[in-house]
Amino acid sequence: MYKKIDIGKKILIANEEYALKNSRLLAEQKKLCLNMISSPGSGKTTILVRTINELKNKLKIGVIEGDIRTDLDAQRIRATNAPAIQIETEGSCHLSAAQVSGALDKLGVSELDLIFIENVGNLVCPSAFELGENGKVVVLSVAEGDDKPIKYPGIFAKSKVLLINKIDMLQTGVQDDFDVERVKTDARRLNKGIEIFEISAKTGEGMKNWCDWLIKAAKKLS
């Protein structure tokens, strides 16, 4: 078993080297890069599409899409006219910094204000692999239940932002057992400074606060 740990460490160290390369590139170019992490189906792509459309005249956004299979998500992003690079991980459960390095080159960072990385849908593994981003954004959909911060603490502890998505479901009564305050309290217990936005990427509710935060964060770097 000790061999596993040694090799595991080597893989993480190799990943860190590329992560450092990516973060240097982003720092030199003064670009904001956010790594979006969530379970499958929490609405990452829908949030990105809506965010790109709402910020159309304010920020130039590019997207790196990670999926096990298909380029469906990149197609959805390109339909907004934003550039998108698809990485198919072919079974791997997370994006690596090396994959992101190649994608950043293709995307043409200098032309952009903000780069989103949409990681593979997985609340566990992607949190262990730094990609060189400025921050992680964890998305939790109301449909997933309010016990997720305490059951999957790693990603909530590491994220700069928590987006609580699909809040329209609360109003319909479909998801009446989801306690928003519990999620906020548990997330802040793990991570005092985490920014939390309640949104519905479907109806648009709450998107303005999130978009305003993005504008401010991107401006701070440029």
Residue 20 lies near its own copies (rule: CB under 8 A): no
User: Residue 91 or residue 193: which is nearer to its own copies going by CB?
Assistant: 91
> Which of residues 150 and 221 has its CB atom nearest to its own copies in the complex?
150
**Is residue 204 at the binding interface for its own copies, with CB under 8 A as the rule?**
no
**Closest approach of Cβ 55 to its own copies, in Å?**
24
Residues 127-156 that bind its own copies (CB under 8 A): 141, 143-145, 147-148, 150-154
How near is the Cβ of 109 to its own copies at its closest, in Å? 27
Tell me how far, at minimum, the Cβ of 30 lies from its own copies, in Å. 33
Residue 169 touches its own copies, criterion: CB under 8 A:
yes
- 69 scored as a contact of its own copies (CB under 8 A): yes
- Taking CB under 8 A as the binding criterion, the range among 49-57, 110-118, 169-177, 191-199 that sits at the site for its own copies is 169-177
Q: Which of 128, 108, 129, 12 is nearest to 63 (CA)?
A: 108
End-to-end CA distance of the chain: 46
Number of residues located near its own copies, criterion CB under 8 A: 38
Distance of closest approach, residue 167 Cβ to its own copies, in angstroms? 12
Secondary structure of the chain as H, E, C letters: CHHHHHHHHHHHHHHHHHHHHHHHHHHHHCCEEEEEECCCCCCHHHHHHHHHHHCCCCCCEEEEEEECCCCHHHHHHHCCCCCEEEEECCCCCCCCHHHHHHHHHHHCHHHCCEEEEECCCCCCHHHHCCCCCCEEEEEEEHHHCCCHHHHCHHHHHHCCEEEEECCHHHHHCCCCCCCHHHHHHHHHHHCCCCEEEECCCCCCCCHHHHHHHHHHHHHHHC
Q: Is 79 in the site for its own copies (CB under 8 A)?
A: no
Contacting positions for its own copies (CB under 8 A): 3-4, 7, 10-11, 39-42, 67-70, 72, 91, 93, 120-125, 141, 143-145, 147-148, 150-154, 166, 168-169, 172, 174
